[in-house]
Amino acid sequence: MKKLTAFLGLLLPVLVVWSNTLSAQSTTQTIRGQIMDAQSKFPLAGVNVVVLNTDPLIGTATDTEGYYTLNNVPIGRQALQISFMGYEARTIPSVVVTTGKEVVLDILLEEKVLMGEEVIITAEADKTITNNELATVSSRSFNLEETGRYAGSRNDPARMAANFAGVAANNDDRNDIIIRGNSPAGLLWRMEGINIPNPSHYGSLSSTGGPVSILNYNVLDKSDFLTAAFPAEYGNALAGVFDLQLRRGNTEKREYLGQIGFNGFELGAEGPFSKNSKASYIANYRYSTLGVFQAMGIDFGTGSATPEYQDLTFKVDVPTQKAGRFTVFGIGGISSIELLGSKEEAEGEGDNLYGSDYEDNYADYRTGIIGVSHLYYFNSTTSYKLSLAASRQEEHFYSDSLSLKDRSPIPNEVADFVNNKFSGHLTLNKKFNARNHAAIGGIVDLYDFDLANRRLVPGEERTLRSNDGQSLLTQLYAQWQHRFSDRLTLNTGVNYQHFEVSNSQSLQPRAGLQYQLNDRQTLGIGYGRHSQMQPLETYFTQTVMSSGTIVESNKNMGFTNSQHYVLSYNHSLTPSLRMKVETYYQDISNAPVESELSSFSMLNAGADFGPVDEVFLVNEGVGRNYGVEFTLERFYNQGYYFLVTTSLYSSEYKGSDGAWRSTAFDGGYIANLLGGKEFNIGNKNNTLNLDLRLTASGGNHYTPIDFERSAEVGYEVRKENNAFSKSFDDYLRADLKVSYRINARKVTHEFALDIQNITNRDNEFARIYDPRTNTVRTQYQIGLFPVPQYRILF
């Protein structure tokens, strides 16, 4: 740590001198993109686009394919105004313009229902408006700039989303997010229209998060995050959806990126294939640098173990004159680590959040997704899109227990999981007129899996899983939007879902109604029935009967079902300040619990690295989540922004023993305060940014340790009759991010230092029984954690 502090102390004066040398007196950049109809996504010609507050006024109009180009735009934060006859005008505030990279910004416009009626919709300056126009409540968009701006986010979309109302992530070692008290397993990841596996390094098949994201924020486009009553096209999810879009590469100019920071050493490139077409590419490769951070004395929770990982993200976009638009995309990552409790003991290292002092664990993970899509317009109101993809997820794990007597290794467990998935998504989209828009579609996911998992403890050897097979998850959906007027919109839909393993099926209606009370206030109401299959490994857990017969007793598990009820109120206090209040109730049924009386429920699973090993699970459990959320957000304007979110909630479940209990994720409250100020330095070509984040949330619940029983048997035993009756202390954390941007001619340099947990608070992580000392000790989360970063764009 001292090495890093001394280095940063020397770096600051060097940056000031260097920036004065590099800065040009007058620098500009280009903004370009495409403007489309919000419902049909068909390009709009003749749309007026201007840069506000420029003298002389900078403006242009879109060509016959909807493309626009704004040249000689001054660097800094700019606002665009878009207007077109028959469509609602939009203002895009706070567009960051730098010298090192052109801004590519695609924009959707909504057609007016009542021609000639003047309706001023202040919310159209709201940057949280989603790409999916059928999302009525509990939804917002996010972009690259937000993902990289917020203190403590580590350029990770999931960690960034933890700042939104109703979302908790009070676990420093993973990026799992808890949405309104739901298990992280209830989250759906979608990319370019395809449902994808867990996009995390060290992420297991049964979870939706991990320590480091494979997703690269430099390649992400504006994307959606939904937390309840989402549209019918989203199935197989109980809690929320990340609907991710990858950026198209620059169609006019080749550009490059270099970056080094916590997430790794990174190189990126994008540009056109030729000057004669709009075909483009974008690709980014990243390799881990955590070994360097360890050498600087930074502790990130792995003790002496060094995580190693690398990943690649790319997208190729090929629009044609008559055959439609073709896209090829992919992400992939490999990661490995050796968490050796024997080494920690020998070297006297600190707490390891991922391993145990009594185990040697060897883990290797591989995730890859590649897809292709075809978008074709039959006419300006009718289109279809077909997306096909193949993904592969591998999880290889071996564990030895360490003898309490001499620390010698004892075989414990081995797991080799491979899941290939072949996916297809076909949707037909039709805009009948300004009032009516409909879509129908189908999603098919074919799982081709090989699951091998065996317990190796001498005298207790048994096979947990051994299955090589295939299964099909099928979804059909239809959705319709009817706009009674420019103020009143009804969104409805239905999703049908079938899973082959258990022959489960579910019909899931969705509905949302949005009414604009006046030019500043909007009221929304949403309902959705949602169903989700269980983690794949859970179906194939083996049980040896008294007769010696081996059975897979969980194979008949059906979907867990959930009904969401949401009421939302949104008030645009000013063009740059909005207030939002939402209240919700979630009724959960058919949750898997044990057939014998117990406190177990799958509603508490999904926030760990391994699968659930319980057997004879039946869909007889229930749960309920309810709460109220408040958001006050000022978008970047006049050099500063802030975001205040508060959530009060309850999350409860009932196992097969019939007792209502708090879930593991019942924190009770979440409060976030974020803010940032941007200062122009020198000739205003350079900017200094200060960003602060304060977080407070109730501690997760846990099952207390049965101390007497643990001492008797020599290993940890929990009081399952008192499941989740205790809670950790409140989670409190303050993060500070300082960043400096130098805009030289045709090159942008960005330096940042994100200091997480700046007060070095000891937040509780776990209670652990130590059999050697016959005591229970508290393990704490990551302390003061500085994350430096450098990025160059040219």
Give the three-state DSSP class for 587.
strand
481, 493 in Cβ contact below 8 A? no
286, 216 in Cβ contact below 8 A? yes
State the Cα torsion 210-217-335-779 to the nearest 10°: -40
What is the reported pLDDT for 243?
97
- Among 52, 54, 33, which residue's Cα sits nearest to residue 44? 33
What is the reported pLDDT for 205?
87
Locate 686 and state its tokens. Answer: 């350079």
Confidence tier at 724 by pLDDT (50, 70, 90): very high
Residues 77, 597: Cα–Cα separation, whole Å: 60
Residues 487, 520: Cα–Cα separation, whole Å: 11
Could you tell me the sign of the dihedral formed by the alpha carbons of 348, 352, 355, 356, in that order? positive
783, 755 in Cβ contact below 8 A? no
Residues 328, 584: Cα–Cα separation, whole Å: 39
Query: pTM for the complete prediction?
Result: 0.92
Q: State yes or no: pLDDT of 419 exceeds 90.
A: yes
* Span 512-541, average pLDDT: 96
Locate 324 and state its tokens. Answer: 């439609």
Residues 544, 537: Cα–Cα separation, whole Å: 17
489, 531 in Cβ contact below 8 A? no
- Among 670, 651, 669, 671, which residue's Cα sits nearest to residue 660? 651
Give the three-state DSSP class for 594.
strand
Angstrom CA distances, 211 to 59, 323, 606, 744, stand at 45, 42, 14, 35
DSSP code for 655: -
What is the reported pLDDT for 125?
54
β-partners of residue 763 are none
Residue 307 Cα to chain centre, angstroms: 21
Residues 98, 355: Cα–Cα separation, whole Å: 43
Q: State yes or no: pLDDT of 534 exceeds 50.
A: yes
Residues 183, 663: Cα–Cα separation, whole Å: 9
52, 78 in Cβ contact below 8 A? yes
Residues 738, 751: Cα–Cα separation, whole Å: 8
Task: Output Rg (C-alpha) for the chain, integer angstroms.
Answer: 26
> Which H or E run contains 462?
strand 462-483
Q: State yes or no: pLDDT of 683 exceeds 80.
A: no
- 147 vs 426: which has the higher pLDDT: 426
Q: Which residues contact 435 (CB under 8 A, 6 or more apart)?
A: 113, 482, 483, 484
Q: State yes or no: pLDDT of 31 exceeds 70.
A: yes
Q: What is the DSSP string of 467-494?
A: EEEEEEEEEEEEEEEEESSSSEEEEEEE
Q: Which residues contact 156 (CB under 8 A, 6 or more apart)?
A: 147, 175, 212, 213, 215, 217, 263
What is the reported pLDDT for 13?
52
Residues 484, 481: Cα–Cα separation, whole Å: 10
143-176: string of b/e by CB count within 10 Å (b at 16+)? bbbbbbbbbbbbbbbbbbbbbbbbbbbbbbbbbb
What is the reported pLDDT for 122?
39
Tokens 């897809």 — which residue? 371
What is the reported pLDDT for 365?
96
Q: State yes or no: pLDDT of 79 exceeds 80.
A: yes
CATH topology of domain 159-702+730-763: Maltoporin; Chain A (2.40.170)
Confidence tier at 1 by pLDDT (50, 70, 90): low
Q: How many CA atoms lie within 13 A of 583 on its CB side?
A: 1
* Span 192-208, average pLDDT: 93
Q: What is the DSSP string of 165-223?
A: TTEE---TT----EETT--GGGEEEEETTEE----EET--TT-S--SEES--TTTB-SE
Confidence tier at 771 by pLDDT (50, 70, 90): confident
- In the predicted model, what is the mean pLDDT of the chain? 91
Least confident of 47-51, 142-146, 271-275, 689-693: 142-146
Could you tell me the sign of the dihedral formed by the alpha carbons of 370, 229, 437, 497, in that order? positive
What is the reported pLDDT for 538?
95
What is the reported pLDDT for 354?
76
Burial (CB count within 10 angstroms: exposed 0-12, middle 13-18, buried 19+), residue 716:
middle
Per-residue model confidence as pLDDT tens digits over 338-390: 988 888 754 444 467 777 778 899 999 999 999 999 999 999 999 999 999 99
Locate 664 and state its tokens. Answer: 């593991």
479, 455 in Cβ contact below 8 A? no
* Span 394-418, average pLDDT: 90
* Span 129-139, average pLDDT: 93
Residue 717 Cα to chain centre, angstroms: 34
Confidence tier at 711 by pLDDT (50, 70, 90): confident
What is the reported pLDDT for 717?
92
Percent of the chain with pLDDT strictly greater than 70:
94
What is the reported pLDDT for 455?
92
Locate 470 and state its tokens. Answer: 């295939």
Residues 770, 492: Cα–Cα separation, whole Å: 55
Residues 68, 70: Cα–Cα separation, whole Å: 7
Residues 705, 686: Cα–Cα separation, whole Å: 55
- Among 474, 475, 472, 473, which residue's Cα sits nearest to residue 495? 475
Least confident of 84-93, 124-133, 568-577, 660-669: 124-133
Strand 521-532 and strand 504-516: pairing?
Answer: antiparallel
Amino acid at 648: L
- Among 490, 532, 497, 482, which residue's Cα sits nearest to residue 511? 490
What is the reported pLDDT for 340?
87
Residues 558, 499: Cα–Cα separation, whole Å: 8
The phi-psi region of residue 499 (left if phi > 0; otherwise alpha if psi is between -120 and 50; otherwise beta) is beta
Give the three-state DSSP class for 507.
strand
Q: State yes or no: pLDDT of 25 exceeds 70.
A: no
- Among 412, 317, 396, which residue's Cα sits nearest to residue 356? 412
For 600-746, where are the E strands, in sequence order?
617-637, 640-654, 660-662, 669-681, 686-697, 701-702, 726-727, 731-744
104, 247 in Cβ contact below 8 A? yes
Per-residue model confidence as pLDDT tens digits over 492-501: 999 999 999 9
Locate 89 and state its tokens. Answer: 């005008």
Percent of the chain with pLDDT strictly greater than 90:
76
